[in-house]
Amino acid sequence: MGSKQNYKILVVDDEPDILEILQYNLEKEGYGVRVAANGRKGVEEARSFLPDLILLDIMMPEQDGVETCRQIREIPELQNVYVIFLTARAEEYSEIAAFEVGADDYIVKPIKPRALMSRISALFRRESKKKKSSSKISIGDLIIDRNSYTVSIKDQQVVLPKKEFELLYFLAQHPQKVFSRDDLLQNIWGSDVYVLARTVDVHIRKVREKIGEGFITTVKGVGYKFELN
C-alpha cells in the first residue's frame, strides 16, 4: 500500500472533540477513517473495517483500551494491525499494560495533531520499505517469513503481533550478535517513538513464550542475542 488513500485508520476515544479533531486531520491527509466512542464499539468497527492502524484511548466507558486491544489482537485478521495508544494516563504501569496486550506505541495527551500526523506517516513509510525488502529466514525448525508476517516452528504456525514479529526477525537476521535495549528500540520502534526500555523486555518475554526459550538469550548487563541452535 503506497498511497495514503490505501491506508485505513480507526480512532477509538470517548471524547467527541478528540474524535472530531483526529478524523478531520487524518482525512485531510488522505486516510480512510472510522471512529468509535467506546471500547466495545471499537472492537466491532475493527472487525468490520480491518484498519491498518488503530488510535486507542485507555480510559473509556463500557470497556477500557487495554481490554479492547487484547480483544482486537485475538481477531486473526488484526494480529498485525498497528495499535497506538493516545491517553492521559502517564503512569509507567499503564504503559507497560498497554505493551503487554500488543500496543506498538504509547502517546500521552494532550495530542499535537501535526506531530501525530508526521508520526503516522513515518510509520507507514517504514512499513512500505520493510515490505520491499521482505525475505524468509529458516533456522532449524524455525521459519520466519517477512512477506506474510508468519512464524512457524516444527511445522506449527505461531502467531506474533507486529512488534514481536519485527523484534524476532531483526534478531534472527543478525545471529550471535548482541544488541542492547537501546539498539533494539532504535531499530524496531524508531527514533520518533518514545517507549520505555522495559518494553523490549516485555516483548522478548512474550516471543520466548511462543517459540521457546532457546532462540533468544540474555547477555547479562548488555542485552539480547539470537542463538543458532
User: Which of 34-38, 100-104, 175-179, 186-190 has maximum average pLDDT?
Assistant: 34-38
Query: d(Cα 211, Cα 228) in Å, to the nearest integer?
Result: 14
Tell me the average pLDDT across 172-190: 89
80, 22: one domain: yes
Has residue 210 got a pLDDT over 80?
yes
Longest dimension (CA), the chain: 53
This prediction has a pTM of 0.67
Instruction: Report the percent of the chain where pLDDT is more than 70.
Output: 93
192 pLDDT tier (thresholds 50, 70, 90): low
Has residue 26 got a pLDDT over 90?
yes
79, 121: one domain: yes
Least confident stretch, 20-34, 129-143, 160-174, 192-206: 129-143
What's the CATH number where 195 sits? 1.10.10.10
Has residue 207 got a pLDDT over 90?
yes
* pLDDT (0 to 100) of residue 132: 57
Instruction: Report the percent of the chain where pLDDT is more than 90.
Output: 52
113, 140: one domain: no
Question: Which domain-ending residue is among 103, 130, 157?
Answer: 130
* pLDDT (0 to 100) of residue 6: 80
Query: d(Cα 142, Cα 16) in Å, to the nearest integer?
Result: 46
133 pLDDT tier (thresholds 50, 70, 90): low
* pLDDT (0 to 100) of residue 3: 56
Tell me the average pLDDT across 50-79: 92
Better-scored residue on pLDDT, 177 or 190: 177
Better-scored residue on pLDDT, 123 or 63: 63
Tell me the average pLDDT across 97-110: 87
* pLDDT (0 to 100) of residue 2: 45
Cell numbers linked to 203: 516483548
Range of the domain at 163: 134-226
173, 111: one domain: no
What's the CATH number where 96 sits? 3.40.50.2300
